[in-house]
Amino acid sequence: MRGRQHVLIGTTATVATGIGIVSSGSSIVNVMPIVIGGVIGSYIPDIDSHKSKAAQMFNKILSISIVVLAILYSLGITLDLEKLSSFFNSDNPKTIAVLMFAVLTILGKLSPHRMFTHKWFGTMLFCYSVYLMGNIYFTIGFVTGYILHIVADTMTKNGKYLKFFQFKLPCRNSKNKFDISW
C-alpha cells in the first residue's frame, strides 16, 4: 500500500476522532494535534520502504529532518537551562522522548521493509516515545494513525506475512539476520 493511501486513511480516521472529541465538549484547538499526529503516525511505519526512488528520497529527507529538528529542540532546551548536563537528565522526559523518537526513526529507516516498524515491539517504542512528549491529543492521533497503518497493511496481498506479533529488533530481516539498508 502506498504512503498516500495510508495517510488518507489515517487523516480520515483522526478527523473523525477529532470531531468526536469536539462534540463531546473538548476545544476545537485539540483537533489539530490529533490530525497532525494521525498523518505522521500513518506514514512512519513505511519509513523502512525502499521500493520506489520517490519513497527512498522522501524517507531520507523525512528522517534527516526529524533528526535535525530533534537535535535543534534538544539544544534549545539545553541552552535554556544553560547546562549541558541537562541534555541527558531524566528530569527532562520531553527531550529524552524527542531524542528517542529520532533514534527510532533512524533505526526504522535502516531496517528492512515491514520488519521492526511493523511489529509490536517497534510500534510500542514509537507510540511510547510520542506519549512521553506529553501531548495527549497528538498521542491519540499518532497511535490511531500507526495502528491503522498496520491494519491496512495486513489487508493487502502480502498482508498474511506481516506477523505483527513476532518479536523483531531493529535492523533484522525476516530470518532474524542483521540487515541494514539506507
Q: Which is nearer to Zn ion, 33 or 145 (CB)?
A: 145
Distance CA 141, CA 164 (A): 20
- What CA–CA distance (Å, rounded) separates 172 from 177? 5
- Map the footprint of Zn ion across residues 153-172, applying CB under 5 A: 153
Name the minimum Å distance from CB 101 to Zn ion.
18
Q: Does 46 bind Zn ion (CB under 5 A)?
A: yes
Q: How far apart are CA 24 and CA 182, in angstroms?
A: 44
* 179 touches 171 (CB < 8 A): yes
- The distance of closest approach from Cβ of residue 62 to Zn ion in the complex, given in angstroms and rounded to an integer, is 14
| Minimum distance, C-beta of residue 48 to Zn ion, in the bound complex (Å) | 8
Give me the least distance between CB of 89 and Zn ion, in Å please. 35
Question: What's the Cα-to-Cα distance from 103 to each of 46, 47, 63, 64, 98, rounded to whole Å?
Answer: 16, 13, 10, 11, 9
C-alpha cell at position 73? 529542540
> Which of 61-69, 90-98, 146-154, 167-175 is the region at the interface with Zn ion (rule: CB under 5 A)?
146-154
Identify which range of 43-51, 54-62, 74-82, 93-101 contacts Zn ion by CB under 5 A. Answer: 43-51
Q: Does 48 bind Zn ion (CB under 5 A)?
A: no
